[in-house]
Amino acid sequence: MAFVQQSSPHAHNARPTSKVMLWVILAALPGLLAQTLFFGWGNLINVVWCIVIALASEAAILKLRSKPVAFFLRDNTAAVTGLLLGLSLPQFAPWWVSAVAVISAIVIAKQLYGGLGSNPFNPAMVGYALVLISFPVAMTTNWAEPALLWNNAPGFGDTLAAIASGQQTAIDGWTMATPLDEYKHKIATHTAAEVLSHPTFGEGFAKGWEWINAAFLAGGIVLIGLRIITWHIPAAVLGALVAMSLAFGSNADQYTPLSLHLLAGGTMLGAFFIATDPVSAATSHQGKLIYGAGIGVLIYLIRSWGNYPDAVAFSVLLMNFAVPFIDHYTPPRTYGHHKARRGLPSRGRS
């Protein structure tokens, strides 16, 4: 009888990928709920549409590759990709923009590299960056105006009709520039007090966006508590963003204030749900800190001096490029061995 020999340590009861991805979906639901409450039905419609397209795209490419379709769809990774894109895209983004983003993420960024575990880049951010560069009008003019779902927000039918119409721009009365975009372009000719008086902003924060980011922060803490992710990447992203803002952006009359960096845009979604992708992120704890800090620094640099007001997608993708280099110089300690010595050997020691 032949026995399979495996090296130690022998881990037991490891969480299957499908369960891990399911927890990620559940942890993101509070953020989706907050988006729906403060900006209407757009994100919920986008999430459902993106997940359907993600599952269909994954099934089609798996069929072409002669892979078992049902087996791979059950890992929920395609659903998570669709969820992240639905949460990230503008509320009134045309249906075809969402479809292009999702198909690019699943087919090009994931399956063409070999599928789950082989993709060097975050699939959702590849899809997002592609449509942002290719369709800038549709991606910058379709952000919903802050409006409570039960008060002034467009109805479900109206929102669905606007998305399904396929037009690159939605109705003017329903849309508004994002807080980061508004501040970035107005602060050059206005004072901070004048910019913050715009209807986009509430009590010194981005109206509605602070609750969305708080919801994603709460979901991320749940994932850390369940050990689905570790604290290293989110802490490094937020810590580096705070440090850069305090060092270079203390004057609110010249640069976006720290409160908006943290509580507007996709900061918490990016730190806890996007940057922590286990496939495209760094491996060791030390590597995760470097990787996360790089993302935080890049977010601040692009937001402050680049052409894009949010920058999470580009920051994550640029650091994905650096992951092989980071992993090479920060290897995890082999089980049962001491950490490898660095530098040249001392005299008298072989």
User: 201: which strand partners?
Assistant: 206
pLDDT digits (tens, 9 = 90+) for 218-264: 999 999 999 999 999 999 999 999 999 999 877 877 888 888 889 88
Q: Give the pLDDT confidence score for residue 166 in this predicted structure.
A: 80
Q: Examine the fold and report which residue of 172, 190, 207 is the final residue of a domain before the chain moves on.
A: 172
Q: Mean pLDDT highest for which of 9-23, 59-73, 195-209? A: 59-73
Q: Give the pLDDT confidence score for residue 3 in this predicted structure.
A: 43
CA 136 to chain centre: 19
Residue with tokens 């991606």: 139
Mean pLDDT lowest for which of 5-19, 136-150, 178-192, 302-316?
A: 5-19
Q: Is 245 exposed, middle or buried (0-12, 13-18, 19+ CB in 10 A)?
A: buried
Expressed as residue numbers, the domain containing 264 is 177-330
Q: Examine the fold and report which residue of 155, 172, 189 is the final residue of a domain before the chain moves on.
A: 172
Please determine, for residue 350, whether its predicted confidence score (pLDDT) is greater than 60: no
- Provide the pLDDT confidence category of residue 201 given band limits of 50, 70 and 90: confident
Nearest to 147 by CA among 167, 125, 171, 127: 171
Q: Is residue 35 located within the same domain as residue 167?
A: yes
Q: In this structure, what token pair is assigned to residue 82?
A: 């669709």
Q: What percentage of residues in the chain have a pLDDT greater than 70?
A: 87
**What burial letters (b/e) apply to 17-55, b meaning 16+ CB within 10 Å?**
eeebbbbbbebbebbbbbbbbbbbbbbbbbbebbbebbb
Q: Is residue 161 located within the same domain as residue 37?
A: yes
Evaluate whether residue 343 is within a structural domain.
no
Evaluate whether residue 113 is within a structural domain.
yes
The arithmetic mean of pLDDT across residues 336-344, rounded, is 56
Q: Give the pLDDT confidence score for residue 2 in this predicted structure.
A: 45
Q: Is residue 198 located within the same domain as residue 282?
A: yes
What does pTM read for this prediction? Answer: 0.88
Q: What is the mean pLDDT of the chain?
A: 86
Q: In this structure, what token pair is assigned to residue 309?
A: 């007001």
Evaluate whether residue 162 is within a structural domain.
yes
Q: Give the pLDDT confidence score for residue 200 in this predicted structure.
A: 73
- Provide the pLDDT confidence category of residue 1 given band limits of 50, 70 and 90: very low
Q: Is residue 205 located within the same domain as residue 70?
A: no
The arithmetic mean of pLDDT across residues 185-192, rounded, is 79
Q: Which residue has the higher pLDDT, 193 or 224?
A: 224
Q: Give the pLDDT confidence score for residue 334 in this predicted structure.
A: 66
Please determine, for residue 318, whether its predicted confidence score (pLDDT) is greater than 80: yes
- Provide the pLDDT confidence category of residue 209 given band limits of 50, 70 and 90: confident
Q: Is residue 137 located within the same domain as residue 239?
A: no
Mean pLDDT lowest for which of 79-93, 158-172, 328-342?
A: 328-342
Q: Give the pLDDT confidence score for residue 79 in this predicted structure.
A: 95
Question: CA dist 225 to 44, 49, 222, 263, Å?
Answer: 26, 30, 5, 22
- Provide the pLDDT confidence category of residue 4 given band limits of 50, 70 and 90: very low
User: 206: which strand partners?
Assistant: 201
pLDDT digits (tens, 9 = 90+) for 18-37: 899 999 999 999 999 999 99
Nearest to 58 by CA among 115, 120, 130: 115
The arithmetic mean of pLDDT across residues 93-113, rounded, is 94
Q: Is residue 185 located within the same domain as residue 260?
A: yes
Q: Is residue 21 located within the same domain as residue 139?
A: yes
Q: Is residue 30 located within the same domain as residue 149?
A: yes
Evaluate whether residue 1 is within a structural domain.
no
Q: Give the pLDDT confidence score for residue 148 in this predicted structure.
A: 67
Evaluate whether residue 278 is within a structural domain.
yes
Evaluate whether residue 200 is within a structural domain.
yes
Evaluate whether residue 344 is within a structural domain.
no
Q: Give the pLDDT confidence score for residue 149 in this predicted structure.
A: 64
Q: Give the pLDDT confidence score for residue 310 in this predicted structure.
A: 84
Instruction: Give dist(CA 102, CA 52) in Å, integer.
Output: 10
Q: Cβ distance 123 to 57 under 8 Å? A: no
Q: Give the pLDDT confidence score for residue 7 in this predicted structure.
A: 44
Q: Is residue 107 located within the same domain as residue 55?
A: yes
As for how many domains the chain has, the answer is 2
Q: Give the pLDDT confidence score for residue 116 in this predicted structure.
A: 84
Q: Is residue 254 located within the same domain as residue 152?
A: no
Nearest to 142 by CA among 129, 125, 159, 123: 159
- Provide the pLDDT confidence category of residue 135 given band limits of 50, 70 and 90: very high
Compute the C-alpha angle 31/33/38, nearest 5°.
95
Q: Give the pLDDT confidence score for residue 104 in this predicted structure.
A: 96
